[in-house]
Structure 1
Amino acid sequence: MFTAYHAIMFAVLLIGGAGVIFQASSGDDSLVKNSIQVKSTKSQFDLNTY
């Protein structure tokens, strides 16, 4: 039996899930903009010596 309560709960879950997905996807863009620069030193490890 599908009542008004079930329709409201389904709508809340659907909108909440879409909000979480949208917020997570917009968070990925902020990571690209605020990338951390890493200094790399010259490595002495050479695969050709093995």
Structure 2
Amino acid sequence: MAQKKVALACSVCGSRNYTVPASPNRKVRLEVKKYCKYCGKHTLHRETR
């Protein structure tokens, strides 16, 4: 059975660049600084559901 995944969306441009495994234990949405290839810099990426 495949694991469910959620996307990480860039807070600046809104593009969904990354996917991470969904965790039922996580109560707050994941926020990570990642590189956005569309913005060309490191920006805050938030978990989408």
TM-score (norm. length: structure 2): 0.17
Higher helix share: 1
TM-score (norm. length: structure 1): 0.17
Highest relative contact order (Cα 8 Å, sep 6+), 1 or 2?
Answer: 2
Higher strand share: 2
Structure of larger gyration radius: 1
